[in-house]
Structure 1
Amino acid sequence: MTTCLAPLDAPSARRAGAGLRGLATTDVERSERLELMRSGALGSVHSWELVTAVDGPGTRMTVFLSGCPLRCLYCHNPDTLAMKDGGPVLAEDLLARVERYRAVFAATGGGITLSGGEVLMQPAFAARVLRGAKERGVHTCLDTSGFLGANATDEMLDDTDLVLLDIKSGDEETYRRVTGRPLAPTLAFGRRLAERGVPVWIRFVLVPGLTDDPRNVELVAEHAAAIEAVRPGTVQRVEVLPFHQMARDKWADLGRTYELDDVEPPSAEATEAVREVFRSRGLTTY
Structure 2
Amino acid sequence: MKRCKSGKIHSFESFGTQDGPGIRYIVFLQGCLARCVYCHNPDTWALKAGFEMSAKEVFERIDKTSPYLKVSGGGVTISGGEPLLQIPFLIELFKLCKKVSVHTCIDTSCFFNVSRDSRRPSPGGLLAPLMLGCAAHPSWPPQLKQLVDLTDLFLVDIKAIDEKLHKNITNRSINEVFSFIEFLEKNKKPYWLRYVLAPGLNDKKEHIKPLKEFLSNLKYCEKFEFLLYHILGVHKWKMLGLKYPLKNTPAATKKDLQSAQKLLI
TM over 0.5: yes
Q: Distance in 2 between matches of 1:170 and 1:176?
A: 10
- Contact 1:170/1:218 (<8 A) preserved: no
Alignment deviations for residues 214-255 of structure 1 (CA, whole Å, 9 cap, x no partner) = 2121223333333x2xx3xx1111110111110111111111
Where in structure 2 are there 5+ consecutive unaligned residues? 114-139
Asked if 1:199 is matched to 2:190, the reply is yes
RMSD: 1.9
- Contact 2:205/2:263 (<8 A) preserved: no
Q: Distance in 2 between matches of 1:48 and 1:271?
A: 29
The equivalent residue for 2:131 is: none
Q: Distance in 2 between matches of 1:235 and 1:276?
A: 20
- Given the two structures, how large is their TM-score scaled by the length of structure 2? 0.85
- Contact 1:203/1:238 (<8 A) preserved: yes
Q: Distance in 2 between matches of 1:131 and 1:218?
A: 40
Q: Which amino acid aligns with 2:175?
A: A
The DSSP-based 3-state class of the residue aligned with 1:250 is helix
Where in structure 1 are there 5+ consecutive unaligned residues? 1-35, 281-286
> Out of 53, 56, 80, which is 1:116 matched to?
80
- Given the two structures, how large is their TM-score scaled by the length of structure 1? 0.79
Asked if 1:156 is matched to 2:143, the reply is no
> Out of 100, 123, 127, which is 1:136 matched to?
100
Asked if 1:187 is matched to 2:178, the reply is yes
Q: Distance in 1 between matches of 2:206 and 2:94?
A: 37
> Out of 48, 52, 61, which is 2:12 matched to?
48
- Contact 1:131/1:156 (<8 A) preserved: no
- Contact 2:4/2:56 (<8 A) preserved: no
Deviation at 1:56, TM superposition (A): 0.5
Judge which range, 266-275 or 60-69, deviates more.
266-275
- Runs of 4+ in structure 1 deviating by more than 6 angstroms, as ranges, are none
Q: Distance in 2 between matches of 1:272 and 1:40?
A: 47
Q: Distance in 2 between matches of 1:163 and 1:106?
A: 18
The equivalent residue for 1:9 is: none
Deviation at 1:130, TM superposition (A): 1.5
Asked if 1:244 is matched to 2:230, the reply is yes
> Out of 214, 219, 228, which is 1:223 matched to?
214
Q: Distance in 1 between matches of 2:69 and 2:144?
A: 26
Q: Say how many residue pairs are matched.
A: 238
User: Between the two proteins, what is the percent identity of the paired residues?
Assistant: 34
Higher normalized contact order (CA 8 Å, seq sep 6+, divided by chain length):
2
Deviation at 1:61, TM superposition (A): 0.7
The equivalent residue for 1:267 is: 253
Instruction: Tell me: CA distance 1:245–1:110, structure 2 relative to 1, closer, same or farther (3 Å).
Output: same
The equivalent residue for 2:53 is: 89
